[in-house]
Every structure is written in C-alpha cells, then in structure tokens.
Chain A
C-alpha cells in the first residue's frame, strides 16, 4: 500500500517584501506554505536576523550580552559597523531607547543625528525602532523616517495609540512599517485594517504580535503567530499576510534566567550558555511558529540560530 502524503494546499500566501536599498537589500516573507513545510508548497524566504544596537550605551543590558559590544557600544555608528562587518549581520535594528523621557530623554534632533550616522555607516537594511513611549515615538519616528527617506528602512513600532502619524511618515518617505499589538490576534488584524484604511499598502507592513521570552508567556506569542499564519494561508486573510516580526532580544535579556549567576543557582548551569540558549531557543521556536524577521542581541545566539536555519531550509 503506497503512502499518500497528506498535503494541504492553501489559497493564501505570505507577502514578500524587500528591505533596504542597494546590494545588501534583503527579502523577507513570501511563500504559501506553513513554516518549513516545503513538502507541500513554496516556503517563505529564510528568516532575516537583525542585530540590535541602541542610540545610547546599553546600561540596562545584562553583562553577558553587554560585554559583547563593550568596545563599540558608546558609538551607534561604530556599533552598527561592527555588527555588519565583524559579525556579518544581514540587518541592523537601531533602537532609539535614549529618547524615552525616563531614560536620557534625547531630543528628536539628536535621534535624527544618530539615524543619519548609522545609515552612513552600514549598507544592510536598517530597522529604526522607537523607545516604546507612545507620544515620544510619534515625534521621534516621524523625524527619523524623514531623515532616512529613500533608504527603504523599517520604521516601528506603530501601535493603536500612535499609528496615524507614524504611518503617514512611513508612507511619505517610502519605508516599511512595523505594526504592533499586544498578544491578541484580533487586535493585530484590527490595527492592520486601520493602517490599510490610511492608504498604506499591506505589502509594506510587518506584523509584530508582541514577543515573549521562553518561560515568560512564549506559548501565547507562539500560538498567536501560528494563528496569524493559518489565517493568512488557510483563510486567505489579506490583513494577516504581512511578514511577522519577533523582537526577541529585548524580551529575553531582562529575565532572571539570563541574569542569575551560577553561584546563586548552581542547578541552572553556566550563565553564559544559559543566556545564549535562552535567546536562541526563543528565536528558533518562533521561527517554527512563523516569524520572518528576528531582532536579536547576542552574536552567539544568532550564530546558533543561523546554523539551525542551515538545517531547516
């Protein structure tokens, strides 16, 4: 008796888009099969991994990841260059966390200066992230989008409370956009609808359904991502077809499991490997669920994910 492989052919697809400009531009998304199901359809392109840098020294990062960048992290342009040239990053994510009123409260002009310096320093696609302060982001990201006009960057994150100004700036300056909602597939769809109603085409949107770290709600993010992919493919829901973003690093590098020294918790094992494994397993799981663009911090975690991707694609 011959075995018939039970295949599912979907009518929907994942939108494909190019990030960045020039030789180092990268493609994310695409395909019409569930993640890594190439036996039944064309898969998405290999997930793109961006290394995260910040506009101010990463004082709140745990030592294990901070020390990876100690020689460059006081200069965003040098840091970006190090990621691209020394670590081989295929994309860089600049988080303008220093603009947060409770951090350094850097001005919009300062942020623009940083964006320009980083853009001059690297050729790989640049993701420009705010500080997750709803009001400040809507000023900072608008100015950053203008400063980066023509570079086909990814601007984020637009949320329900501030999407209008950010969408308008991304639209006017020809950028891609990250739309973020909080662990709720229905709110994710709603935000994508609202953004579409502003005339912003869905093939320029990336969906961030909010990340969570392994052990800290990962199962919620995992299932929301699986459901987004199923809606895109099986229900052909065009609002759910943008590529998915996993902002992994910032959720992983603040939890106890990456910070507690082995001397305090010997049963948890070596702190260095523990942190790397935490970030790389979080990222790997989310790729299986449907992530197309990862934002990560530890170079060795990225290396581990990349080697795993070599086996997966």
Chain B
C-alpha cells in the first residue's frame, strides 16, 4: 500500500540536512510519495524506515532501462489505465527484428536503417530504439556473429537477443556484453539457464509463456532466483490478444498489486503486410506495450508511429504547445490580416481551423505563453501589452507584412490602448471573443 508524503515524512530523520538534494525532509518525503526520488538518497534514514519505505515506494510496474548510453530508454513505472487520468510515463520502445539467417550485407543494411532512423518532430528527437536479433539459424556461432555485426552497425541502439537457446545467448552476450543486451528469452524449458545468464551479466530477462497465468509462474520463479529486471511476453498473437493481455496485466499490476505482473510488456507486432503491421503497432502503443517488435521500419511508418507514441504519452496536465512563429494560412499576400494568439495548442488548432474555414488568407502570429490560453496567459502576466509589443518588435517574420494592423483576441480587448502606446504606428483592432466569430470577422474585414 502506498504511503502518503506525510506518512513518509514521519519516518525520515527530520534534520533538514539537504544531503538528499532537497531543501527539507518534508520536500524529500513529497518527492518519495510521488516516486520521483529514492530513499537511498537519504544517508541518515534508519534501516527500519528503509524497509518500510522500500516496500511502499516500489512502483506497481518496475522501471527498467533498456540499452546503454544517451539513447537508452526507460520502460515501466506506469500508474494509470487511461491517459486522461495522469500522464503515461515511459514511451514504448520500438524495435526492428532481424533473423540471423539474413546475409551479412542484409543484416548490415538493415541495422544501418535503425542507426539512421532519427527524426526531429516538434522539438523531440525520435528514433527506432532497439534492434532484436532472432535466432533462426540453429548455429550459435553464426548467431553471435550476426549479433556482433548488427550491434556494430547500429552502435547506439539497444540490443535484444531474441533467442531461446541458452548456448547461443551465451555466445552472443559475450560479444556484446558492454551493450547490456536484453535476453528474450526465457521460457518454461530454459528458465534456469537463462536466469543464470541474466544474473551473471546483470541483464534484462524477457520471459515468454502462453498466456498470463503461465507467464506469472515464470516471473515469480525468475524473481525468486534473483532476477529483478524482467519483461513479460504473453505470446499475444493478434491485435485482440494484445489489447486483452496488456489490459489485464496493467490492471492486475496497478489495481490489484499483483507483483508477478508488475513488469513492462513486449509485444510481437510483426506482420507480412506492412500497413497492417503499422496498425497493430498503433494498437500496442496505445494499449500499454513497453517494447514492440516490427519486421519493417520504413521511414513513413517510423514517422507515423513516433508521432502516435508522442501523442499518447503527452502529459494531459501540461498544455501542449505549438512553436512560436507566424503561421501563414491559405497563402496570405503582404496585405492579409494579421492575428495574434497564444501558443496553447488547442487554442491554436481551433483558431487556425476557423481561419481556414473562413477561406480568408491570413497570418496568425502565435506567441510563446507557456501553453496557456489567452485569458489565463494574460492573468498570469505572460500575454501582456509589454510582452506582445516585445514579440512584435523582435519577430522577423513580419517582414513579409505590408501593413501595421494587429488583431488581438476579444478576450483581451483591455490591452488595446496600452498596445497602441507601446507599438507606435500600429493600429490595434479587437477581434471576436470566441474563435467561431472569426470567419464572419475576417470576411467582413476583407470585403
């Protein structure tokens, strides 16, 4: 049972020594309660308190790092079933699966696809995070060579050893030990050998079985044998299986406290039809997968799946923001109307949508107000006459504009006088209070 911040506070030394990096024991306790700090940061806490806190502060889904270095990705640590309740925490890793029976040239070429998959989207760098090498040759030496080749060609990707043969895994681990490959995996037949390898090299162990009950049995045994970092595979074959299994696992872990299921989940989304594969991957991303395996990573598919992952894992509490700039809608001429609004994305989408509806070519200046809506931004001092004037004066995008008339949202009509004072030569016009008044306003203006 999770403890509240105040309950945790009572177990701390209350010295406010700051050694944990927080200003007071209370502030540290609050971070512990939100699982944003670890009790080990406190050097003076009693062993008894540590034991009490250790159990209480273990997240319902274990957090595990996949891969090494800057491009490694965190998995797990989820707390809710639906993204509107609270942010989904750690986005799903995307992995390309390659068979070790491919020719060296093919393996190299496809690993390079992973290495070169990075795309920048609204300020985030997104990429295929991992490459999985599947043991299909039956030859442990060949497998290790394939893993080595792929690891070299995709030097920053996480490595997944998709192999149920302990000898082949051992051979492969030896050649890429520094990359901390994930062993995937363990099953009913090889559990002991795989557990030994995972423990020896401190690796993540992927555990596969047919269905949830069977896999629980294996995660319990692996945990008892001393493996902490486990990833679950329930053998979900269809998109329907993915939704059902993943939902049951997430619910059991966070609502029922089933420890054996408190681990990230890996889903096989590989399909011959690449468009179906994209859709099945979308289902898995939306429904709680932590790693998805794909056959094909065409650039168009990566762009779409990265975007979906970004959308699903957006914090619903942080207003989504669009970049500050002057947006040109319907190819405006130099004398087209110029509107201004804040960078809250919903504000932008609705205003831009209404401008599009109007069919009147228009420039829409979007100002960075930390993602607040117009009235809130004004009240918070982010969308004030001074700040708007500064933005107008400093933005070079206005070079294309042949006039000096700025339309401000009707909700901040109060700013018009002060803005005219601060922007000499500009005419400030008050627009409609709500975006749905824009089509009529714009048409009237250009009529």
A residues near B (Cβ < 8 Å) are 1-3, 5-6, 36-39, 102, 132, 161, 182-183, 212, 214-220, 222-223, 226-227, 230, 257, 266-271, 273-274, 276-278, 280-281, 284-285, 288-289, 300, 303-305, 307-308, 311-313
B25 interfacial contact with A, CB 8 Å: no
Which one of A215, A274, A280, A305 contacts B311 once the chains associate, using CB atoms below 8 Å?
A215
Q: Which of B210-239 contact A (CB under 8 A)?
A: 212-213, 216, 238-239
**A285, B308: Cβ atoms under 8 Å?**
yes
B336 interfacial contact with A, CB 8 Å: no
CB distance from B312 to the nearest CB of A (A): 7
**A6, B278: Cβ atoms under 8 Å?**
no
**A220, B346: Cβ atoms under 8 Å?**
yes
CB distance from A148 to the nearest CB of B (A): 26
Q: Which of B341-374 contact A (CB under 8 A)?
A: 345-346, 349-350, 357-359
Docked complex Cα distance between A144 and B95 (Å)? 51
Contacts of B276 in A (CB 8 A): 304, 307-308, 311
**A312, B238: Cβ atoms under 8 Å?**
yes
**A214, B311: Cβ atoms under 8 Å?**
yes
**Total contacts A to B, CB within 8 angstroms?**
154
Given A217-B320, A269-B299, A308-B280, 11 other A-B residues pairs in contact with their CB atoms under 8 A: A36-B239, A161-B436, A216-B349, A268-B300, A269-B302, A270-B298, A270-B300, A274-B300, A274-B304, A284-B282, A311-B239
**B308, A281: Cβ atoms under 8 Å?**
yes
Contacts of A217 in B (CB 8 A): 320, 345-346, 349
Which of A2, A274, A281, A305 is packed against the most chain B CB atoms within 10 Å?
A281
**A312, B283: Cβ atoms under 8 Å?**
yes
Contacts of A303 in B (CB 8 A): 275
Which one of A3, A182, A227, A273 contacts B350 once the chains associate, using CB atoms below 8 Å?
A182
Q: Which of B308-330 contact A (CB under 8 A)?
A: 308, 310-312, 314, 316, 320
CB distance from B43 to the nearest CB of A (A): 39
CB distance from A239 to the nearest CB of B (A): 19
CB distance from A161 to the nearest CB of B (A): 8
B287 interfacial contact with A, CB 8 Å: yes
CB distance from B319 to the nearest CB of A (A): 11
Could you pull out 17 A-B pairs where Cβ atoms are within 8 angstroms?
A6-B251, A38-B244, A102-B358, A214-B311, A215-B310, A217-B345, A219-B314, A257-B307, A271-B300, A274-B304, A281-B308, A285-B282, A285-B286, A300-B275, A307-B275, A308-B239, A308-B283
B240 interfacial contact with A, CB 8 Å: yes
Docked complex Cα distance between A4 and B143 (Å)? 39
Contacts of A278 in B (CB 8 A): 304
**A307, B283: Cβ atoms under 8 Å?**
no
Which one of B119, B240, B320 contacts A312 once the chains associate, using CB atoms below 8 Å?
B240
CB distance from B232 to the nearest CB of A (A): 13
Docked complex Cα distance between A278 and B301 (Å)? 9
**A223, B316: Cβ atoms under 8 Å?**
yes
Contacts of B282 in A (CB 8 A): 281, 284-285, 288
B279 interfacial contact with A, CB 8 Å: yes
B74 interfacial contact with A, CB 8 Å: no
B404 interfacial contact with A, CB 8 Å: no
**Of all chain B residues, which has the CB nearest A271?**
B300
CB distance from A3 to the nearest CB of B (A): 4
**Of all chain B residues, which has the CB nearest A304?**
B275
B31 interfacial contact with A, CB 8 Å: no
Q: Which 9 A-B pairs have the closest CB atoms?
A: A269-B299, A269-B300, A274-B300, A308-B279, A304-B275, A3-B213, A311-B239, A215-B307, A223-B84
CB distance from A98 to the nearest CB of B (A): 14
Q: Which of B390-440 contact A (CB under 8 A)?
A: 436
**Of all chain B residues, which has the CB nearest A268?**
B303
**B278, A281: Cβ atoms under 8 Å?**
yes
Which one of B121, B256, B305, B346 contacts A6 once the chains associate, using CB atoms below 8 Å?
B256
B19 interfacial contact with A, CB 8 Å: no
B247 interfacial contact with A, CB 8 Å: yes
Contacts of B275 in A (CB 8 A): 273, 276-277, 280, 300, 303-304, 307
Q: Which of B74-104 contact A (CB under 8 A)?
A: 82-84
**Of all chain A residues, which has the CB nearest B312?**
A219
Contacts of A267 in B (CB 8 A): 119, 299, 303
B243 interfacial contact with A, CB 8 Å: yes
**Of all chain B residues, which has the CB nearest A221?**
B311
